[in-house]
Amino acid sequence: MKKKELLYEGKGKRLFKTADENLLISEFKDDLTAFNAQKKGSEKGKGALNCKISTELFKLLEKNGIKTHLVETISDNEQLVKKVDIIPLEVVVRNIATGSLTKRLNIKDGTVLPFSLLELYFKDDDLGDPLLNDEHCTLLNIASKDELEVLKNEAKKINTILKSFFKDKGLNLVDFKVEFGKDKDGNILLSDEISPDSCRFWDINTNEKLDKDRFREGIGNVKVAYEEVLARILDNN
Amino acid sequence: MKKKELLYEGKGKRLFKTADENLLISEFKDDLTAFNAQKKGSEKGKGALNCKISTELFKLLEKNGIKTHLVETISDNEQLVKKVDIIPLEVVVRNIATGSLTKRLNIKDGTVLPFSLLELYFKDDDLGDPLLNDEHCTLLNIASKDELEVLKNEAKKINTILKSFFKDKGLNLVDFKVEFGKDKDGNILLSDEISPDSCRFWDINTNEKLDKDRFREGIGNVKVAYEEVLARILDNN
C-alpha cells in the first residue's frame, strides 16, 4: 500500500490517503511540541520510536478487547490504519496528579489519586483545548450521550490494561491522553497513538520521568527515555 | 433576632451568628465586584434591592417545592437564614450563551442554547473558580455522586420555574449561578442569593441588559436596572 495525497497534518503525525478509501497511512513525525505548540523541537528517530511503541500497545489492547484503527505497521515510522472520523476530544485518564491538574485544582504533584480520574478536553488549538463536561460535548455535537459512555468506558479499560502492563515493566502509568474515531459503520475505534508523547511514565523505583515531560521541562535525553520505554515494552521477562 | 459576631464576609454579603446556633443573619452589601474581584465598585442601596429580589425569588421557589435556607427578611438588607455548610460549587445554568462561555467554546453571543446547560465551578477565588466535571467533585470531596445529582436536579428545576416566571415579566433569564448548602440534618438547601448580581436578565423585546453586566461592561445605571427587575417581579399583572 502506497501513500497518496496528504489528508491531514497534525503536530505529531501526517495522514495520507491510499488506494483503498477505507485505509490511511499514518506517518509518525520527529517533531516535538509542548504547551499548545508554543515550545517546538525535533529528535531524529523519535517518530519511529513512537510508531513502534504505539504499535506494540495497540496490539496489546486489541488482544484485550479494545477495538483500534491499527491494521499493520508498514515501515519504521508508518502504520496502515482504518479511516475514521476523529471525535474531537482529548480523553485524559490520570492515576497520579501532575502537570496542569496540580495547578488547576491545587493538588500536590505526585499525589496518587484515589481513583482514575477521567477528563474530556475539546481538541481545538485555537481555544487552547478547554476542559469540557458531558453537557458541553452534547452542546457542541461532539458525541452523543451513548457515544460518550463508550468513549469513557474504553478509556478506563485501556487504563486498567496499560497500568497493569507497565507496572510489570517497572513503570508507573501516571496519566495518558487518547483519541477515538468512528469508522464508516459507526464503530468507535481507538485512534491516534499511545506513546511517551501522549503518556507520562515514571520509573517505579526512582520516579525518573520517561516521557515528553523531559522535553517540556528541558530535562534532556528525550530519545534515550523513549528508547528505554520501548525496551521495557519489548522485554518479555 | 440580633446579629452577634461576624462569621464570614464574602464579596456580596456578611454572615453573622445569632442567639440560635442553627440560624444566621445574612446582610446584603452594596459592594459590586466583577472578574474575580479585579473590578470593584459600590452602589448605595444595591444590597437592599438584592435582598428584596432574592427574598421574593426564594419565596417563589419555596412555593414550587425548592428547599431554601430562607427563614424571613428582618430588615431592608438582612435575611434570617438557616445555618448550612456551603458546598463550594458555583452551579451555573445557561439558557442563552453569553460571557465566558462564548469565549471558552467559541459560541456566538446571544445564541439560544438547544437545552439548559449546567456547569459546575469550584468556588475558589485563588484558583479562579475553575470548571469541574463530576469526577473532580468526587476527587475534591466536594459532594458525593448522590448529592451532585440532587444539586443538578434542583438547579434545573429552579431554572424551569424562574425562566417561566421571568418570561411573564418580559425578561429572558439568560443564565444564573446558585449555591447550595447542607443543614445539620444533611438536607441540601438553596443558599446564598438569586439576584441581578448572580443572574443575567435581558429584556425580551429590546435585549437590554438588566443585571450586573451593566457594571462589568461599564454601561452604567446599575441600580436603575436592579430597581426595574424588582418592579417587574412585584408587578402582579
Q: Hey, where are the domains in chain A?
A: 6-82, 85-221
Residues of B with CB under 8 A from a CB of A: 104-106, 113-115, 117-120, 122, 124, 126-127, 130-136, 138-140
User: What is the per-residue pLDDT for A198?
Assistant: 97
| Domain A6-82 identical in fold to domain A85-221 | no
User: What is the per-residue pLDDT for B37?
Assistant: 84
Contacts of A114 in chain B (CB under 8 A): 139
How far A98 CA lies from chain B's nearest CA (Å)? Answer: 14
Nearest Cα neighbor of A73 from A96, A54, A86, A46 is A54
How far B127 CA lies from chain A's nearest CA (Å)? Answer: 7
Tell whether the model's pLDDT for residue B145 goes beyond 80: yes
B6-82 CATH pick, 2.60.40.1220, 3.40.50.11540, 3.40.30.10, 3.30.200.20: 3.30.200.20
CA B157 → CA B65, B149, B190, distances in Å?
9, 12, 12
Which residue from A minimizes the CA distance to B128?
A104
Cβ-nearest to A136 among B105, B114, B132: B105
Contacts of B175 in chain A (CB under 8 A): none
CB A106 to CB B117 under 8 A?
no
What pLDDT, in 10s, does the model give residues A64-123?
999 999 999 999 999 999 999 999 999 999 999 999 999 999 999 999 999 999 999 999
**Cell numbers at residue A47, please?**
517518530
Dihedral (CA of A41, A45, A50, A51) sign? positive
Rounded-to-integer distance, Cα B209 and Cα B53, Å: 17
Which residue from B minimizes the CA distance to A125?
B105
Residues of A with CB under 8 A from a CB of B: 104-106, 113-115, 117-120, 122, 124, 126-127, 130-136, 138-140
Which bin fits B19, alpha (ψ -120 to 50), beta or left (φ > 0)? alpha
What pLDDT, in 10s, does the model give residues B7-37?
999 999 999 999 999 999 999 999 999 988 8
Cβ pair A94, A119 in contact under 8 A: yes
Cβ pair B25, B16 in contact under 8 A: yes
Average pLDDT over residues B114-138: 97
How far A96 CA lies from chain B's nearest CA (Å)? Answer: 12
First to last CA, chain A: 35
Mean pLDDT of chain B: 96
User: What is the per-residue pLDDT for A37?
Assistant: 84
Rounded-to-integer distance, Cα A189 and Cα A191, Å: 6
Rounded-to-integer distance, Cα B206 and Cα B170, Å: 10
pLDDT-derived band at B226 (thresholds 50, 70, 90) equals very high
Contacts of A126 in chain B (CB under 8 A): 106
Domain B85-221 part of CATH 3.30.470.20: yes
Average pLDDT over residues A179-206: 97
Interface test with A, best of B93, B105, B122, B134 (most A CBs within 10 A): B105
Its ipTM equals 0.94
CB A136 to CB B113 under 8 A?
no
Tell whether the model's pLDDT for residue A42 goes beyond 80: yes
Contacts of B134 in chain A (CB under 8 A): 133-134
- Scanning the structure block, which residue is given the C-alpha cell 442563552? B96
- Scanning the structure block, which residue is given the C-alpha cell 476527587? B139
CB A133 to CB B114 under 8 A?
no
